[in-house]
Structure 1
Amino acid sequence: MTFRRLARNNVRGNWHRYVAFFLCSTFSVMIFFIYAAFLFHPDVVSGNIPAASKVRQGMILCEYIIVIFSFFFVLYSMSAFLRSRKKEFGLLRLFGTTNRQIALLVVYENTLIALLAIAAGIGFGALFTKLFFMVLAQLLQVTSPIRFILAPKAIWITALGFLALFELITLYTLRHLGRSQIVELMKASKQPKSVPLYSKWLTALAAVCLLSGYYMAYTAHIYTIIAYMMPILITVIVGTYFLFTQASVAILRRLQRTPGLYYRHTHIVTIAQLLFKIKDNARTLFTASILCAVILTASGTFYVLFQDTRNQMMERFPQSFGVIEKGLGVHEVIHPEELKRQLALHGLELDYEVQLSGFQVPVTLESMRYKTEALVIPEQSYNRVAKLQRKKTLKVEPGHAYYVHPNRQVAVEYFKPGDQLDTVVGGRDVTLQIDGQSNGGIINSRLELANMIVVNDRQYEEWSRAVPESELYAYYGFEVRNWKESLAAASHIRETVPKERSWQLECRIEDYAAMHQFNSLALFIGVFVSFLFFIASGSMLYFKLFTEIQEDQTQFRALSRIGVSDAEIRKMTTTQIGISFFVPVVVGMVHAAFAYKTLGNLLGSSVWQYGIDVIAVYTGMQILYFALARKAYMKQLAQS
């Protein structure tokens, strides 16, 4: 029998171990190839699809992520497979096989799996590339479909790149194999295990790190997230590592000291086995939980941004169309009646319109010592618009004022009740007492009119006399009911506006369309990478489960001989597999929940509904993965 034939037989005989690794590798190759097929598409390279530039950089980043992920995943998988086959290699050494021949056998096996994974990945990639192009063309809103072309460069870069990756990692993992002695290899699976121990200090450190990371994530906002980001990542990762390596052992040892639970039914065997399994697999469970948190956080963020686009636009642009004019009665941008006529011509129904005027004054934001300008408007004008938007109205006394910030989720209180505001009106210094700060603008948030100072009506009337009409600002806002269908109207209206005045016209639909397209593309591209991480997470648990199956078979045979029934063995097995599969999921969900809280703080809105949707989908896929892994494991276990 040749080594090539022996390698094929080994792969065929141990296919239940390799199947998860093969599927994850195939999916990695497929996603890499699909992205490469777009990046090297002739129309994309030549610039015939201008909209492709919006996603090109994102896809290149995803390609790097896939390569880095594949490197560590394949390295971990091959190292785990080699460790599980030490007894087999010991037998081959005992029969006279040299280290070079064993290494050659492993290279043949891994090359065979690599070639199968690459061929299957490129094949499935070619099958789904057309569908990928169709969806991408729809999201990019290109005028004609993207041609179905499989760029040769994408094929050979994918094939040669992944083959080199597999071969290099194979050679790297073989470096320790030749140093092992025959006795060491033969007794690898029979080495006695010491009772797992834990450190109280490291267990406490796990709790402190996790609680600290969760607290920072819960309280983070737009002005502290940059400072908090690295501490959150470090403390959560360190806390999760010690949670599995130390705290899990402490919890199980505590359960062993609880007679009412430990000695009930088969718990004595289940807990004792879990104690050793979780300690041995702590790093795998830690990695799986971090991957779970990354998947839920990344996919949840993409999904939240996609779903929350409308809310963000409504907050930034309270009116569908807004026009800023400098000077009362001046219509250098577009006349309000002409704008309404254009809306009517495009079948858009007007919900309400807003007209208000004011003048700008210099303002210093004391908390940041930042000098800017704010629009002074009367109390009555502000309340009229606020009522239309169902916002809180303000009551202002003479000599007092309210500061209005256009951003609803701003976390900084620039002016506290009782603070004084010194400014200049008509060349005269004035001082106002601030009664409070209101977050969330009532008009479209163009920088020149973003900040507002709301004053008493009589005081505004007195001050406005000192300001020339040419220095007054007029704002015209129009809210339409079916504003998502107003893109054609916005384009036509903008064509009638002088180019030098285009910044004075704001159309919600323009920003909404751009952001919705970007978020749709990010969700569409990111979901593939997230799904890849999901398969990797489950695959790590799957082949870790099967690398220990020989040891489990020996234990369960011993339990069967002392009278433990098959039903009890199946129950204990299901419990152990379930804990291995779902404990990392629970930990990852908790991490992701606090990440969603941080995201909600940044967006200024609740994202729990969207986060729960993502968690529910992930849990469903994990349950399916668990059911398939359990079925395969039980089948192999029954053969013993």
Structure 2
Amino acid sequence: MTLFSIARKNIKQNFTNYFLYFASMIFSIVIYFTFVSLKYDETIQATSNASTKISSAFSGAAVVLMIFVAIFIWYSNSFFTRKRKKEVGLYSLLGVRKKQIGRMLFYENFIMGLLALIIGILLGSVLSKFFVSILMKIMGFEAIGEFNISLAAVVNTIIVFSLITILTSFQGYRLIYRFKLIELFQADKEGEQEPKSSFIMALLSILLLGVGYWLALQNILESNVWQMMGFMVAPLVILGTVILGTYFLFSTLTVYLIKMSRKNKKSYWKGVNLVGISQLLYRIKGNARTLTMIAVLSATTLTAVGTAYSLYYNNRSNVELANPNSMMFIDQNKIETNQVKDMISNTKNHEVIYHKSILTLQINADVTTLKNNLFSNEMMYTVISVSDFNKLAKVQKRTDKLSLKGNEAAALDAGYYEGMSPDYVGSTISLKMNDHFENITFKSLKKYNVLNYYTASTTIVVSDQLFTQLGKETNSVDMEVYEITNEDEAKQVTKAIQSVLPDEARFSSFYADYTAGMESSGLLIFIGGFLGLVFLAATGSIIYFKQLTEANSDKGRYEILHKIGVNKKEVKRSISKQVLFVFALPLIVGIAHCSVALTALSRLMHTSLVIPVVICMGVYTCIYIVYYFVTVNAYYKIVTKSK
């Protein structure tokens, strides 16, 4: 019997243990192949105006995915190699040389990798059209791609995963030479020392996390600490304190708390709690690095996916803020203006809700008194009368109504950002007229605009009397404002208007910004979601592998418990508690890190991220729960299986 045939036989006999590793490899290959296929997909290139950006985004995501999958497969393969120490020791005892054993393990891993590659590419090819449809739907397109297989994607995937498989196979080959025969047979019987607990180190973990959280939740524009550290150093300090605090939390604080729980004799001696608590205590410190990595990776994944989904979720409200009107442009030519009016009036799928011609003034102003370092001392404003503001506010169904007199004014700033934007209320600026300055004082600030931002930018509302006076000294600009039904589906009429109006008309539309937002945020959520699933599958698998390794080590202990009268129900309850601790702890810590990060981000963006973030956390937790139950059942079967 050749080494290759032995390797093939071993895979068949151990396929149950290999299954999740094998399935994870297939899943990773499917996702990678999909990403590369989408990069070359003709439907996306023909449909989207941003096909170049999409291709670049998928190329970048594929690189990140490739690096992570390589690390995951490397990590998983080392687990399986170490798990088979006793089997390898038996081969050595029978006289098989390490070189031959290493070759056998190399063949095993290579066969698994090759099978996963073939199945992954076949599944990816079948599912590619489905993934294209999902991406098109998320980005707001109706196009459905034809079934085709990208040869470039197939070659790319084969090269990448062949290299990963060869490297991991050589890793297993190399590990054989590091094992001594006595270590191989005594691997499950090696003595474990009780980890030492330190109240000071436990306190330090809380302190480090507290400092990291506190610094992250500071207002970065007003915080003296951020200004002192600098905007490049502060994020690194946050990252360092949180990661280090997380490691100490798992390696010292949990050990300290578990030791404290042993003092509760009533609970400690109840059932088989003594066994479960002891096993957690002896192994938690050894698992600290793995749990830290999983917690940090979970936090990163949740934050990235939550942010991407938040942008997608809030796209309409953000576009409505920048475009309170469906369409708007500057009237530069009456012929073109009338042509646009006919286009909008005659379109079949849209009705005109309102059409207003707004007289505006484009005036430069000396804004030195606003004392804002982010802006120059001179700015161009669009000036409208208070009567036109009230007219537009009414048709836009706003409850606000301004009343201004003399040189009073109101600022309409849809992009207002507290701490960065000027403090308008109470400030006085000077409007530059032909031969003098006209001072106006801001009476109020509205954090929205009644004119589209791209066309009018920041707008100032003045009294009718002052507007008439200013109009005599500067040129006026007519702006055409339209509101139509089904504005998010106005593709044809928008493109028709864009072909008629020159760039100087500064045409802006709800549809153009809405679709651009859907494209970018949809692409982010698609990439973030799938990368998140890969990360989740990997972290769940790592815990699964570790627990199965420990289950094989604990099999003898549970056999003794069964012999002294402990029933299987109590054994499963003990396993469930033990595995729950290992699964729940990094998940809870990861969610805590994510909550702080997204709270800081929501403050920075001045928007609520609660609903999309809760949805992402809920989905993530549900998938983790599935992994938990699979692990508990696998652990239970191993420790209760009769010889």
The answer for unaligned runs of 5 or more in structure 1 is none
Query: Distance between the aligned counterparts of 2:547 and 2:84, measured in 1?
Result: 14
Q: In 2 relative to 1, CA 454–226 (structure 1 residues): closer, same or farther, beyond 3 Å?
A: farther
Deviations 1:425-447 (Å, cap 9, x if unpaired)? 34323444444544222210026
Aligned-pair identity in percent equals 26
Aligned to 1:377, the other structure's residue is in SS state: strand
- Look up the match of 2:36: 36
Q: Which residue of 2 aligns with 1:289?
A: 295
State the partner residue of 2:549: 547
What is the rounded CA distance, in whole Å, between the counterparts of 2:641 and 2:219 in structure 1? 54
1:546-604 Cα shifts (integer Å, max 9, x gaps): 11112221221232333332211110101111222222222222222233334433543
SS at match of 2:337: coil
1:452 corresponds to which residue?
Answer: 459
Contact 1:203 1:242 in 2 (8 A): yes
1:267 aligns to what?
A: 273
Q: Which residue identity does 1:636 align to in structure 2?
A: I
Corresponding pairs, count: 629
1:409 CA displacement = 4.7
Structure 1 contact 333–501 (Cα < 8 Å) conserved: no
**Equivalent AA in structure 2 for residue 382 of structure 1:** F
User: Does the CA contact (< 8 Å) of 2:353 and 2:483 recur in 1?
Assistant: yes
Instruction: Say whether the 8 Å CA contact 2:255–2:285 is kept in structure 1.
Output: yes
Contact residue 407 and residue 440 of structure 1 kept, 8 A: yes
Residue aligning to 1:247: 253
Is residue 11 from structure 1 mapped to residue 18 from structure 2 by the alignment?
Answer: no
1:440 equivalent in structure 2? 448
Whether 1:177 and 2:194 are equivalent positions in the alignment is no
2:147 matched residue in structure 1:
148
The match for 1:361 is: 364
Report the AA paired with residue 437 of structure 2. Answer: D
| Gapped regions of structure 2 (runs ≥ 5) | none
Structure 2 partner of 1:59:
58
TM-score under structure 2 length normalisation:
0.88
Q: Does the C-alpha gap of structure 1 residues 209 and 317 become closer, same or farther in structure 2, counting only changes over 3 Å?
A: farther
Per the alignment, residue 483 of structure 1 pairs with 487
Q: CA deviation at 1:509?
A: 0.6
CA distance in 2, matches of 1:369, 1:13: 68
Rate the CA distance shift 1:297–1:369 in 2: closer, same or farther, 3 A: closer
Alpha-carbon offset, residue 612 of structure 1: 1.4
- For residues 67 and 183 of structure 2, the distance between their equivalents in structure 1, rounded to whole angstroms, comes to 33
SS in 1 for 2:285: helix
Code of the aligned partner of 1:89: V
Structure 1 stretch 110-119 or stretch 135-144: which is displaced more? 135-144
After TM superposition, give the deviation of residue 319 of structure 1 in Å. Answer: 0.6
- Is residue 321 of structure 1 aligned with residue 324 of structure 2? no
Instruction: Show the counterpart of 2:512.
Output: 510
Measure the CA separation in 2 of the matches of 1:595 and 1:356: 45
Assess if the C-alpha contact under 8 Å between 1:403 and 1:415 holds in 2: no
**Superposed counterparts of 1:157-306, under 5 Å:** 157-219=156-218, 227=232, 229-259=235-265, 261-306=267-312
Distance in 1 (alpha carbons) for counterparts of 2:584 and 2:97:
42
> For the residues of structure 2 that align with 1:546 and 1:436, how far apart are their CA atoms?
65
Whole-Å Cα distance in 1 between the matches of residues 484 and 128 of structure 2?
A: 40
Report the Cα distance in structure 2 between the residues aligned to 1:8 and 1:341, rounded to whole angstroms: 70
Q: Tell me the amino acid that sits aligned with residue 62 of structure 2.
A: E
Q: Deviations over 1:593-631 (max 9, x none)?
A: 233334433543212111112222222222222222222
One-letter amino acid of the counterpart of residue 493, structure 2: A
CA distance in 2 between partners of 1:514 and 1:50 (Å) = 9
Q: What amino acid does structure 2 have at the position aligned with 1:563? A: G
Contact 1:358 1:473 in 2 (8 A): yes
Q: Secondary structure at the match of 2:206?
A: helix
Q: Deviations over 1:281-337 (max 9, x none)?
A: 2222222222322332222223222222211110110111112347xxx747514x9
Q: Secondary structure at the match of 1:179?
A: coil
Sort the Cα spacing of 1:219 and 1:545 in 2 relative to 1 into closer, same or farther, 3 A. Answer: same
The residue number in structure 2 matching 1:611 is 613
Provide the C-alpha distance between the structure 1 equivalents of 2:345 and 2:525, rounded to a whole number of angstroms. Answer: 32
Aligned-partner residue type, residue 32 of structure 2:
F
Q: Which moved more, 1:144-153 or 1:75-84?
A: 144-153
Conservation of the 8 A alpha-carbon contact between 1:408 and 1:441? no
CA deviation map 1:194-251 (0-9, x unaligned): 1112444443343233333334444467999965644443333333222222222222
Aligned-partner Cα distance in 2 for 1:36–1:525: 12
CA distance in 2, matches of 1:305, 1:456: 38
1:377-423 deviation digits (Å, cap 9, x = unpaired): 34444344345352644555645444332214554241264444344
Whether the 8 Å contact between 2:591 and 2:617 is mirrored in structure 1 is: yes
Q: 1:123 Cα shift?
A: 2.0
**C-alpha distance in 1, partners of 2:257/2:424?**
49
CA contact (8 A) 1:363 1:423 kept: yes
1:454 alignment partner AA: V
Opposite residue 60 of structure 2, the aligned amino acid is L
- In the other structure, the counterpart of 2:477 is 473
Give the partner amino acid of 1:360: I
Instruction: Check conservation: 2:25, 2:116, Cα contact below 8 A.
Output: yes
Counterpart in 2 of 1:27? 27
Deviates more, 1:512-521 or 1:225-234: 225-234
